[in-house]
Amino acid sequence: MSSSKKTDPPGGSIPSLFADVPPSPPLPSGDYSYTVELVGSIQNQLGKLTEATDTLKEVVKEQGKKIDDVSKKVDEVRMDIHGAKSGMKVLMWVIGVFGTLFGLILAAFFRKILGGG
């Protein structure tokens, strides 16, 4: 290994002059009013969104209650229709039975009258 001085850089010597760089423009780091305004605006919009969400929840609850009421009424009507259909079936059976008996009685009556006997 070669021995070298610890003060010399590995590529040669240290330059005596550096390039002149103009200073960068000052950043608005001391003024946070825009950030505060932005955060306030976001909080305002978030409050409006929360209020709208709460209102929407209430409307959905009311709609659910209305749907339940309509469902109950539909069930009542369905049962009424079922009862009416059952009643009509019974009535048709009664008419059928009495019609058959009446037809048999008439047939016997006309056989006696027309048969001469």
Give the residue from 24, 40, 44, 42 showing the smallest Cα distance to 32: 40
The pLDDT value given to residue 6: 53
Q: Whole-angstrom Cα distance, residue 42 to residue 47?
A: 9
Burial level of 66, CB count in 10 A (0-12/13-18/19+)? exposed
Kindly report, residue by residue over 72-83, the tens digit of the pLDDT. 999 999 999 999
- Tell me the longest C-alpha to C-alpha distance in the chain: 156
Q: Whole-angstrom Cα distance, residue 74 to residue 81?
A: 10
Half-sphere exposure of 103 (CA within 13 A, CB side): 6
Tokens of 25: 């423009």
4 pLDDT band (50/70/90 cuts)? very low
Kindly report, residue by residue over 28-74, the tens digit of the pLDDT. 666 678 888 889 999 999 999 999 999 999 999 999 999 999 999 99
The pLDDT value given to residue 23: 78
Give the residue from 5, 93, 104, 72 showing the smallest Cα distance to 85: 93
